[in-house]
Structure 1
């Protein structure tokens, strides 16, 4: 299939080939252990550096459950893009599974929140069209790239996302992490988690913030017993926990527990470690539905960015 053929019609995206992965994706191929957390269903090639990824959003999930007004969680969309990226890296570019991925930044936009509408308790199938850009190489190996993703439901574009990442070998990662390469998460030391209903969550274990005396500032808290966040061993706070904590801080500062994030930009500057407190600060941007976020640890800005909220 040529690039022109691939782009000639959106309908062609659902009959393209060849397929690299079909029917079911092994959890280990996307850095997961539990099959219930695997949302990607197949991988196909549309053109050079352009892929099609099938995704199934479950009618219910322990963490990425539907949110207000029977809409799928937009962070489920983001997690689907992450899984698609890992799948493409391994199966599409043959990056060894022993390599480690470092996320540099994430961007996403939901074109129409109605595109996230659930189908009762039945799953919803969507398709991601992912294009790899700005491909970086180190000798004969891939060092990183930018993934642009478009999400289609029944042939209609409902959202887009992009994230830039780099990868290093296992020995290189061990050198990079130094004293933290064997770090393990500890139970939250705080005794004042934010009430789960104020951040749109159904279970206390999903609360990622604890109260502080400072206005619009909370402590990051991630329970190591959370079997979705810590589905596999991690030596730092993972990105999905950071994004969820940012969402919760945005809901709190906006006093909108039923709002959903329909767009955002996050830059990851440093790993957030387990051995010292990390604060999360949220500031509404005047006259907009956008909230600015900052994650600080030891006086250093670790992550920052914005989230755009929408209330159904």
Structure 2
């Protein structure tokens, strides 16, 4: 049931550090959040670092910041607040339902120095199942030195191990899922998708499909996208696929500044996943901006959609 709840988060008078376990990362160097505070009812402040350079979240070929690194900060905030503020046990999984973000384009051009980002997070529409949080909506306003950087709105559900097992069935067997995974196909040219390394390309050619269509590459050895074992294609991989597909479709506006996405079904390792695109009308009020609709599908069923906005920076 959906209800408006009293504040159930843990009150903290001082800053609390963030651990790798709280953000579901094995590599401690990939923890972008530094500390967090409880501000008020279901209201939190989180400090994060936006490195000037990163081995994956960087449009190195264009010397710009990568908007998806800010999204990764928000993604890390989801399990961190679930565990630390809402007493969710470790072993629970958080699954995205939808995500919308819009980044101030001028910030993406600020390179050469790390940015200390402040996330103002408000949680709402909290679902409670027994004593546990079953899902919620998060509204995030990101700022740097008091200046607005981005807005993010996302909804996710919070799955106990038993719920995840029931939803996934045999697919929840991690070893079996990895053993059955299709090998990643040959990557497209990195320059086509705004990348400098072939290892970071997540699209493979689909020559028998319509133009601007590719196959998703699940490289289970990728150190960032597959930092820890999972039984399906992770959400950040799907977002990266949407970004790369949009850049391939609109190379003249080579920076992603926003997305509106829906996570509909799990994307599986053992079934080919098509990444298709369609040009949408240009958004109003932004010179040179383009919007591309990206859809990922398996066995003729859509698993993920994203309306991706690109702009000149």
Give the TM-score normalised by the residue count of structure 1: 0.89
Return 181-190 or 266-275, whichever deviates more.
181-190
- For structure 1, list consecutive stretches of 5 or more residues without a partner in the other structure: 1-15
**1:249-288 superposed matches below 5 A:** 249-256=245-252, 259-288=254-283
- Mark the CA change 1:189 to 1:154 in structure 2 (over 3 Å): closer, same or farther: closer
* Aligned-residue offset at 1:282: 1.0
Maintained 8 Å contact 2:242/2:306: no
Give the Cα–Cα distance (whole angstroms) in 1 for the partners of residues 92 and 234 of structure 2: 16
Correspondence list, 1:1-312, <5 A: 18-19=13-14, 21-22=16-17, 25-67=18-60, 70-110=63-103, 112-120=104-112, 122-182=113-173, 183-184=177-178, 186=181, 188-190=183-185, 192-213=186-207, 214=209, 215-256=211-252, 259-288=254-283, 289-312=290-313
CA contact (8 A) 1:60 1:66 kept: no
Name the SS for the 1:274 alignment partner.
coil
Q: 1:243 to 1:50 in 2, by over 3 A?
A: same
Contact 1:130 1:149 in 2 (8 A): yes
For residues 80-107 of structure 1, give each alpha carbon's deviation from its aligned partner in whole angstroms, at most 9, with x where no partner exists. 0111122111111111111111110000
Q: Deviations over 1:198-245 (max 9, x none)?
A: 111111111111111221211001211101011000100001110001
* Paired residue secondary structure (1:19): coil
SS at match of 2:183: coil
SS of 1:201 mapped into structure 2: coil
CA contact (8 A) 2:249 2:277 kept: yes
Quote the offset at 1:66 in angstroms. Answer: 4.7
Unaligned runs of 5+ in 2: 1-10, 284-289
| 1:59–1:66 contact (8 Å) kept in structure 2 | no
- Tell me, yes or no, if the aligned pair for 1:269 and 1:301 is still in contact at 8 Å: yes
Q: Deviation string for 1:26-57 (max 9, x for gaps)?
A: 11111001112110000101111000000001
Give deviations 1:270-301, integer Å, cap 9, x for gaps: 00000110000111113441101111101111
In 2: Cα distance, 1:75 partner to 1:296 partner:
22
Q: Shift in Å at residue 59 of structure 1?
A: 2.1
Measured on the aligned residues, the alpha-carbon RMSD in Å equals 1.8
Structure 1 residues 297 and 187: CA distance shift in structure 2, 3 A: closer
